Structure 1
Amino acid sequence: MKKLSFVMMTMIILTLFVSSTSHIVQAEDNEETEKKVVYFYSPTCSGCQTVKPYVDSLPVKGITLIKYDITDHTQNNYKLLRSYNASYYVPEDEGTVPIIFVGDTYVSGVDDIIQSIETDGEQSIYELAKEDLKDIQVIDFDIEGLGFWGFLTIVFSGLLDGFNPCAIAMLLLFISLLGFTDKRKTLIAVSVTYISALYLTYFALGTILFRFIRQYQSQIMYLSTIITWIVIILALSLFVFSLYDFIVSKNEEYAKIKLQLPKTIQKFNKKLIKYFTRVFDEQSNISLIPILLLTFLLGFIISLTEFLCTGQIYLPIIIGLVQFGESTLLATLMLVIYNLMFVLPLIVIAVVSIKSKSVLLTSNWVRENLHRIKLFNAIFFLLIAIFFIVTNFIL
């Protein structure tokens, strides 16, 4: 009996020891297995603002949250996002912010992220985080951000902006400027100076806006949804007005065109052109250098007065460069290309006008094709609205 009691006591002690040991091991395993998720976002992304309270609640559930702002160029976070996308085999249309990498999978898009955080099933963030994150090797991509199609968008947008209805007035003003002299060399010099002034002014304005928006985007992150809606409403409004202008210009009812510079700015530009041409005419013996300086000043002033209208296409492009996390160097290159395409119509007009010695021919061509220009603008503004709707509220 004593032996039996001894055996039973021994078994009870061993059972308690094994049970307590297993709990210790399990506790140690839980401590060693840290649940981590990696979250990529952008301060200017409205979808990121929607999921922000849900994502910020993850640490409360015992999950270590690692956040990367893709617009932080000091850390190359956009390059890191592309490396994660490559390692997790994320399709191109899903590899945008907001996106969470957890375990051996990923969750992208506003609805899917919110559902994965709120659900308690196997597809919940908490359950998926039990798996370790994949090892990521940062890839040194040659082309970042917008990619090839983005590059084509920059090229097409710049060219389209060069034929912007408001820029048409600038083209015609430029044509009238070429009529003050018959000297071929002077015409070429004035053309190059005028176009250079336009190019440098618009490039400088684009660079300043890009740097300003990127620098203060964290401060305006809570306004991103409002800004997005403003861009969408503005683009749709411009689409409607451009479509209307297409109809009236096709019927040669040019007085009914809606999208054009305010009358006060038009009068100011006309007076400015007349003043400069009168100076050139009265000072027939004036040397070339003063003429070029005055021409450059004219181009600079015209650029500022026209920017209110030509910026309708330019500003969404600049915002896109910020949202896609472009580096300063690459964004600068994109602005160089955009503005080269923007002044291309001016270059063509200058060449045609100088060779034909007739500004009337070029002016008539612009007027005859105005309805086509209006139609292309309408299509562009519609695509801008669709792009912002899809990227901010659907994907």
Structure 2
Amino acid sequence: MRGRWRIIPAFLLALFILLSFIQPVIASEETEDEFQDRLSGLLEESNNSITVFYSNSCSACKKVVPEIIELAKEYPEISFNYFDLYGSDENRTIMLAFGEKYGVEYPAYPVVFTGDCTVLEGKSKIELYLRKVLEAHKNGYIPDAEYESSLWSAQSPPSEASNGTATDDNRKISLLLVILSGLADGINPCALSVLALLLATLAGMNSRKKILLGGLVYTFAVFLFYIMAGLGILTIINYSGFSGIFSIAAGIVALIAGIITLTGGIWEGKTVSPGIPVSKRPAIKKIMERASIPAAFVLGMMVGLFELPCTGGIYIAILGLLSSRMTFYEGLPYLLVYNLMFVVPLIAIILAVAFGLSPEKVDSWRDSNKKLLKIGIGLILIAMGLYILAGYLF
């Protein structure tokens, strides 16, 4: 009975992968033509109304939107339109159309559009200037491009760098986080141990070409599996509208996985330690003994299947961040970068072995540094879990 329960994570993961290739169908009462008509109407009315874009997963938005709603009550003669970007590619399309009209290539939410050229990006600008904008609307000074331009050149609105919204600087930090996380995940002892055994088998054939081909095919299979799994998970989250719930769950999973991995590194053998199930190792060994290119590919897919539910805490944490801070299509490049970084250590080891490094030395290094690697990965997972939970809840 216990053996049957072990296949549940693998079954769920396979379901994620299958669904990643299925285009979700979302029931909508609005046709494409009706949406375009509505968008055109919103753009035409934007000069004389206040249009607010925000995200329910944005901490700055959660603070400033209630303030906007309260302020709007003082100006009942002015029309306010609110668009939540959280899980809505349709509202994202509307925001980008507003950005194009107002000359902002990538608006940073929360953002307010009004008048002929007035754009208030971020919590700080909205809190400082929205009342003045509303007063100008009330007194008939807005819309007026000349007046608005002179108003903002005189006021010198504050820099966006300090308001904590989704600016380009924050996106650079996010990209660095993705790169470092992928590299950290790529040196986990589980993946390295299987790779070392594969290389030892291939090295026995005394062929550099077979070492390179077999190792790279194995790495490609792992990369492909992880990409497919990530796409499946992001697709389900994006179209289900549960990105906030998933983000919190990902933070909790990362925190728990970090504690387990950390304690496993400190007290090795005395605690539960994630890894490929012992019952699956004979099957892996049997495939490895074939030492063929197709066998290397199958091995890579098998390792990905059994490794991800056990040691994919960092990956789940990154997917949680992507799902809560970006749309599906914005997150795709970051997903690709993460998985490229994930296989960089594997590729480096394959090249080293192909040009003379003993596979036994790779495995010896892994074994001697196993505790240190687990402690490091455990600390990274704990930090990421706390970061996700703090960023979303507070």
TM-score class, shorter? 0.5 to 0.7
| Deviation of the 1:126 alpha carbon | 7.8
Q: Deviations over 1:89-139 (max 9, x none)?
A: x9xxxx655x66799867739xxx9xx9xxxxxx998897334478799xx
> Is 2:309 the partner of 1:308?
yes
Contact kept? 1:157, 1:338, Cα under 8 Å: yes
Which residue of 260, 267, 279 maps to 2:274?
A: 260
Taking the TM superposition and a 5 Å limit, the aligned residue runs for 1:1-395 are 36-44=49-57, 62=76, 64-70=79-85, 72-73=88-89, 75-76=92-93, 96-97=109-110, 108=123, 129-132=134-137, 147-179=171-203, 181-217=205-241, 220=242, 224=244, 226-248=245-267, 254-256=268-270, 258-261=272-275, 265-268=277-280, 270-280=281-291, 291-326=292-327, 328=329, 330-356=330-356, 358-394=358-394
Residues 96 and 306 from structure 1, CA distance in 2 versus in 1: closer, same or farther, beyond 3 angstroms?
same
Please state whether the residue corresponding to 2:135 is helix, strand or coil: coil
Q: How many residues align?
A: 316
Distance 1:106 1:155 in 2: 28
Contact kept? 1:161, 1:313, Cα under 8 Å: yes
Aligned amino acid, residue 304 of structure 1: L
Match of 1:25 in 2: none
Contact kept? 1:36, 1:129, Cα under 8 Å: no
Question: What TM-score, normalized by structure 2, do the two folds share?
Answer: 0.64
Contact kept? 1:193, 1:292, Cα under 8 Å: yes
Distance 2:50 2:121 in 1: 9
Distance 1:344 1:323 in 2: 27
Match of 2:158 in 1: none
Residues 382 and 77 from structure 1, CA distance in 2 versus in 1: closer, same or farther, beyond 3 angstroms?
farther
Q: Deviations over 1:133-189 (max 9, x none)?
A: 78799xxxxx96963222211211110110234434443454454355222222222
| Deviation of the 1:378 alpha carbon | 2.8
Distance 2:391 2:102 in 1: 18
| Deviation of the 1:56 alpha carbon | 7.2
- Tell me which moved more, 44-53 or 235-244: 44-53
Aligned amino acid, residue 352 of structure 1: A
| Deviation of the 1:77 alpha carbon | 5.5
Aligned amino acid, residue 387 of structure 1: Y
Contact kept? 2:265, 2:372, Cα under 8 Å: yes
Residues 228 and 131 from structure 1, CA distance in 2 versus in 1: closer, same or farther, beyond 3 angstroms?
farther
Distance 1:242 1:148 in 2: 29
Q: Which runs of 5+ in 2 are unaligned?
A: 1-46, 150-166
| Deviation of the 1:294 alpha carbon | 2.3
Q: Deviations over 1:6-59 (max 9, x none)?
A: xxxxxxxxxxxxxxxxxxxxxxxxxxxx98543323355588679888877887
Distance 1:214 1:104 in 2: 28
Residues 271 and 153 from structure 1, CA distance in 2 versus in 1: closer, same or farther, beyond 3 angstroms?
same
Distance 2:384 2:94 in 1: 26
Please state whether the residue corresponding to 2:319 is helix, strand or coil: helix
Distance 1:158 1:104 in 2: 37
Q: How large is the Cα RMSD of the aligned pairs? A: 4.3
Residues 349 and 320 from structure 1, CA distance in 2 versus in 1: closer, same or farther, beyond 3 angstroms?
same
Please state whether the residue corresponding to 1:181 is helix, strand or coil: coil
Please state whether the residue corresponding to 1:255 is helix, strand or coil: coil
Aligned amino acid, residue 264 of structure 2: D
Residues 108 and 192 from structure 1, CA distance in 2 versus in 1: closer, same or farther, beyond 3 angstroms?
same
Aligned amino acid, residue 130 of structure 1: E
Question: What TM-score, normalized by structure 1, do the two folds share?
Answer: 0.64
